[in-house]
Amino acid sequence: KIWIDSGSLDIPVIIPKARQLTDVLIEKGYKYGEELAFFEEKSAAHGELDWAGRVEYPFVMWRGGSNGDVKKIVFDTYTVQDEKTGKIHCYLNPVAEYGNGMKYSLYTAAKYEVINKDDGEIKADGEINFTSKKDIEILIRYMGNEWKKIVKYEDFKDKLEK
């Protein structure tokens, strides 16, 4: 089993590389949520203090993984700046917390649909692209459940309009 994790405050190159590695492993046939999990934690940095707050999750995975008992879903949003191009990437990161203590990003396991398509789009990995300065309403589906999340342009405005 493989656990990949990063924080949204990590060194800028880590998040895209962690996402690329996750994609490659999924393409090679690893079952996401069973054999492979990826966790992005909002406002966490690359260091021991932040790692200590999430070190238990890979051990739960290696002990048996998620048991299908989703206790809670948290919808984080954040930005990452591409260190080569300077482009700002906006993300919706639904994080599932399971009854057995497992916690990881749903990433491509969730399915996303933008309801107001004239105002934006979302990729399969949760990357958001605003096509107007309006909020985007997104439908998220996972394991037979559906949630609506409004992603506010205002939350990203300062970084997008620099």
Q: Please, what are the averages of pLDDT over each run of 10 residues along the chain (162 residues)?
A: 86 82 96 91 85 89 76 90 86 91 91 97 96 97 93 93 81
Q: What pLDDT, on a 0 to 100 scale, did the predictor assign at position 140?
A: 96
Q: Tell how strand 127-130 and strand 120-122 pair up.
A: antiparallel
Q: Tell how strand 88-98 and strand 127-130 pair up.
A: antiparallel
Q: What pLDDT, on a 0 to 100 scale, did the predictor assign at position 108?
A: 93
Q: What pLDDT, on a 0 to 100 scale, did the predictor assign at position 68?
A: 67
Q: What pLDDT, on a 0 to 100 scale, did the predictor assign at position 119?
A: 97
d(CA 97, CA 91): 19
d(CA 21, CA 4): 8
- CA neighbours within 13 Å on the CB side: how many for 73? 19
